Amino acid sequence: MSASVLELVRPDLRGFAGYSSARSAKVQGEVWLNANESPWANPADPTANCRRYPAPQPQPLREALAALYGCAPEQLLIGRGSDEAIDLLVRALCRPGRDAVVVTPPVFGMYAVSARLQDAPLREVPLRDGADGLQADIDAIIETAQASGARLVFLCSPSNPAGSGIVRADIERTARALAGQALVVVDEAYIEFSDQSSAVDLLSRHENLAVLRTLSKAHALAAARIGCVIAAPALIAVLRALQAPYPVPQPCADLALAALAPEALARTAERVQQVRGERDRLQAALAGVAGVRRVYPSQGNFVLVRFEDAEAAWQALLAAGVVVRDQRATPQLGDALRISIGTPEQNARVLAALGARREQAA
């Protein structure tokens, strides 16, 4: 890690080795008696795969994810969804009470939660609501980060719940402006549903850049909790030292690896295209529903909708057995609901519950 990136890590953690688990040791043998594991499998585990502790970073999965995302395996750390990566980054870079975190509300709440748990000052730069939707104010983000001495800047692209993306030129501009001061983290949880390309290839030019990816959305593995952070190899090593000993359960790793096989990836790509088509159809239909104030453009697998009477819309959907995300407690979104894109039948049910005309729901 070059000196400028190392300076972003908390001084007390730069040489931190972390916990050395039984699976961390580079030893080989036939009889493994070094981890106090049961010598017999559990009766409920016919494969006997679960009696042993798993590899901290299963190499086959790490290589498969690196191939999928276009990076080197040593640039990637697997964790429990993107949530764990967010927490690790805040803990690694932010000294309690000193180093700030910049976020762009309304946005994914885990950035603020992790900052609060670390006692890192939170600096908010609200999205601007304009004709092209809720958009990140890059100039204000840079100014706020510089003025507050922020150590971390989270750019959610596509943004949840806004659905808006951040162009690569603005990501690069932010990284350049904050070089040597802050790590710019691009959360790409929904990028598979977007037209924009990943920022992973920008890491070679900007060492103060990191990217978050997940298998929870497009790859339909939310329960497996497989996500990763992609960054400079030495920063990945620091984050690994902070991580719990066995972050990737073996059954989840096996499932994720199977999901990254060529046939599975091809099927996933088909489903992503279907979601994109359904998103366009749902947006167009919702725009014509009485009581809908605005349907925001979206690059994710959801749409954000403002209502004249959001409570009535919420209750109508619940009465039809449809549960959506109530955004009304979120600042700036007191009249909004976020609707995930479902199957064609589920989307038709949403439209019917909201009183869409029959020809719109077809």
Strands (E), the chain: 76-80, 101-103, 122-124, 128-130, 133-135, 152-156, 183-187, 209-214, 226-230, 292-295, 302-307, 325-326, 336-340
pLDDT at position 361 is 40
- Reading the block at residue 99, the tokens are 């180093």
What is the 3-class SS of 242-283, one letter each residue?
HCCCCCCCHHHHHHHHHHCCHHHHHHHHHHHHHHHHHHHHHH
Over the range 201-214, which residues count as b (16 or more CB within 10 Å of their CB) and which as e? ebbeebbbbbbbbb
Using left for φ > 0, alpha for ψ between -120 and 50, and beta otherwise, residue 38 falls in: beta
What are the Cα distances from residue 359, in Å, to 56, 278, 281, 285, 348? 53, 15, 12, 9, 11
**Could you state, in order of their start, the residue ranges of all structural domains in the chain?**
3-260, 264-361
* 273 CB-near residues (< 8 Å, 6+ apart): none
HSE, CB side, 13 Å, CA atoms: give it for residue 201.
8
Look at residues 156, 223, 152 and name the one whose alpha carbon lies nearest to residue 190.
156
Q: What are phi and psi of 72, to 5 degrees?
A: -85, 150
Class of the CATH domain delimited by 264-361: alpha beta
Cα separation of the two ends of the chain: 56
> What pLDDT score does 170 carry?
98
* Predicted TM-score (pTM) of this structure: 0.94
Return the CATH architecture of domain 3-260.
3-Layer(aba) Sandwich (3.40)
**144: three-class secondary structure by DSSP:** helix
Q: What is the pLDDT of residue 48?
A: 84
- Extract the tokens encoding 179: 């070089």
Spatial neighbors of 243 by CB under 8 A, at least 6 apart, are 18, 56, 77, 79, 84, 88
Q: Look at residue 357 in the predicted model and tell me its pLDDT.
A: 58
137, 127 Cβ separation under 8 angstroms? yes
Amino acid identity, residue 345? E
Full pLDDT tens readout for the chain, 362 residues: 455 788 899 999 998 988 888 777 678 888 888 889 999 999 999 888 899 999 999 999 999 999 999 999 999 999 999 999 999 999 999 999 999 999 999 999 999 999 999 999 999 999 999 999 999 999 999 999 999 999 999 999 999 999 999 999 999 999 999 999 999 999 999 999 999 999 999 999 999 999 999 999 999 999 999 999 999 999 999 999 999 999 999 999 999 999 999 999 999 999 999 999 999 999 999 999 999 999 999 999 999 999 999 999 999 999 999 999 999 999 999 999 999 999 999 999 999 999 975 444 44
